[in-house]
Amino acid sequence: MVMVETGLSKSMNARTIGSGDETVVLAHGYGGDQSMWDKIVPYLARQYRVVVFDWSFSGAVNDPNLFDPVKYSTFDAFADDLISLLEEMNLKSSVFVGHSMSGMIGCIASIKRPELFKRLILVAASPRYINLEDYEGGFESSDVEQLLSSIESNFHQWASSFASRVVDPNDPTTVDKFKNSLQRMSPEAALSTAKLIFHSDQRDMLEKVTIPCTIIQTTHDLAVPISIGYFMQKKIKAKSTVEIIDTNGHFPQLTAHLQFLERRNKQKKPYQTYPLASLSLSFSLSLSLFPSPHLLPQQSNMVMVETSLSKSMNARTIGSGDETVVLAHGYGGDQSMWDKIVPYLARQYRVVVFDWSFSGAVNDPNLFDPVKYSTFDAFADDLISLLEEMNLKSSVFVGHSMSGMIGCIASIKRPELFKRLMLVAASPRYINLEDYEGGFESSDVEQLLSSIESNFHQWASSFASRVVDPNDPTTVDKFKNSLQRMSPEAALSTAKLIFHSDHRDMLEKVMIPCTIIQTTNDLAVPTSVGYFMQKKIKAKSTVEIINTNGHFPQLTAHLQFLEVLGGVLEPKVEPSKSRGS
């Protein structure tokens, strides 16, 4: 279950996901919000009570007056908030995972109230950032003053530059995720909190920490040199270990989340990894903390990168199993649109994700040819070729938006390649007729196309805020950034194809069983379209309505989305013992 709290926890957007005897509290760092944990929460929530929240400085908090720069001029003030939060939520002996500045906050809170903590996991944390003769903090004093001056003079420009430096540049989705979260901070909160962090020195405090610690760092973090991890290990009096994750940047929970959820099995062969070990063993989140062969993909559940056409389309195979699930994104998206559900599916299935030729995620700008891709058949042919090249037959195809119709066409041409079609927010026609509700008038479509042509990036920002649930700004930004990475030519050409299409008659030829998934309020696809499709498709088909707003239920209501998949796939997908959101 997902529980939203009240009181202080309400002000801090605290949420409890999952259930279990053990509690894991995840605290984000500077510039972040609770979405920094998106990739690992689905694993943990299967068996543990997971608590996430937003610090007062975060741009995700609803009350702009929650952050007081005078009050929050010390780490102790944040530690007091953490203690109050845990008390209000009646949490004791929790595992606290603190990223970046939250590592030191957790240490201070544990000194004040040790009974509230079972273990501290300090991720990319540092007690001091400025170098001394006998200490490598990572920054010279002049570097810090320049950084603070840049925040003060042009915060948003600095935030964009800073994000690209502290996040692995090979992961542009995470760069954008952190940049957007950072830019949502108020400039006042950003400057005040940065001064606190970069002028702090918590080295002597470490000696007072009596709670067992795991210190997690990456092989290359611009903000926190590896030497700091070993310095902290030496200073902390409690038992502590250092775990190094082989990735770049300051956010291993996002850029290397599977490694973050693993650790070395020191009782087996060197560097052999195994899923989260027992909480009764006092090891790390790397997550040797947590018991369960069910939280992570098993060793055989490898990630394979394909070649040839599949390489051009960035195809990846995650997990293993007798059943194959192919996930195809829609217009403006890329394979990251499936990020929230892949971890669940990869436990039991062979999951294939890829990027269509129009996507801004493809490396070859010449892959998209507007003449070639002027029909849905061209995309369907690519899908067929991809499945053939990867030797996939009788797959479950999950097609979002325009990919729903692409999957239908491909299934008519090559039915043996498909076992079931799952059509998510799909539509055969977008323009209204007297006897058909498509969702748009012809004039709406022409205005939309004109806006793409005249100012694509401005239109993309506006469109994203309209088709994604506005109560989920993280997903709004995720889709906006993906959409804006498209070339304007590909964006306009593909939009014309989609909005001028009419595949209603094609539906009668679909012989593969279908599940039609829609949301209660989708600006692009009215609910009536789902029932129209069910009536037209000759194969057995069902309609499933997910109670959420917008065009992206796999992101804005992923647990409900997984329930629907669980009703179709064998063996069943089980997002958690208590489902819902």
| Euclidean distance between CA atoms 361 and 370, whole angstroms | 17
Beta bridge partners of 199: none
Q: In what order do the strands lie in the sheet with 23-27?
A: 2-4, 15-17, 49-52, 23-27, 94-99, 117-123, 213-220, 240-248
Among the listed residues 35, 100, 181, 501, the single catalytic one is 100
SS3 263: strand
Nearest partner of 354 among 366, 342, 365, judged by Cα:
342
Q: Is 468 left (phi over 0), alpha (psi -120 to 50) or beta?
A: beta
Helix H or strand E segment including 567: none
| Euclidean distance between CA atoms 416 and 435, whole angstroms | 34
Is 502 considered catalytic here? no
Among the listed residues 28, 99, 250, 551, the single catalytic one is 250
Count CA within 13 A, CB hemisphere, residue 128: 19
Is 58 considered catalytic here? no
SS3 409: helix
| Euclidean distance between CA atoms 193 and 4, whole angstroms | 27
| Dihedral sign of CA atoms 564, 567, 568, 569 in order | positive
The distance of Cα 31 from the centroid of its chain, to the nearest Å, equals: 16
SS (H, E, C) 428-485: CECECECCECCCECHHHHHHHHHHHHHCHHHHHHHHHHHHECCCCHHHHHHHHHHHHC
CB 554 within 8 A of CB 340: yes
Nearest partner of 323 among 574, 573, 570, judged by Cα:
570
Among the listed residues 54, 168, 176, 221, the single catalytic one is 221
Task: For the beta carbon of residue 250, count every other beta carbon within 10 angstroms.
Answer: 26
Amino acid at 191: L
> Degrees (nearest 5) of the Cα angle 259, 573, 345?
35
Task: For the beta carbon of residue 114, count every other beta carbon within 10 angstroms.
Answer: 14
CB 43 within 8 A of CB 343: yes
Nearest partner of 11 among 76, 75, 84, judged by Cα:
84
| Euclidean distance between CA atoms 337 and 247, whole angstroms | 23
Tokens 């209204």, residue located: 432
SS3 182: helix
CB 534 within 8 A of CB 543: yes
Nearest partner of 236 among 131, 135, 103, judged by Cα:
103
How many residues in the chain? 581
Burial 128-167 (b: 16+ CB within 10 A, else e): bbbbeeeeebbbeeeebeebbebbeeebeebbbebbeebb
Write out the two tokens for 7: 């009181």
Is 250 considered catalytic here? yes
| Euclidean distance between CA atoms 529 and 94, whole angstroms | 47
Q: Is 7 left (phi over 0), alpha (psi -120 to 50) or beta?
A: left
Catalytic residues: 100, 221, 250
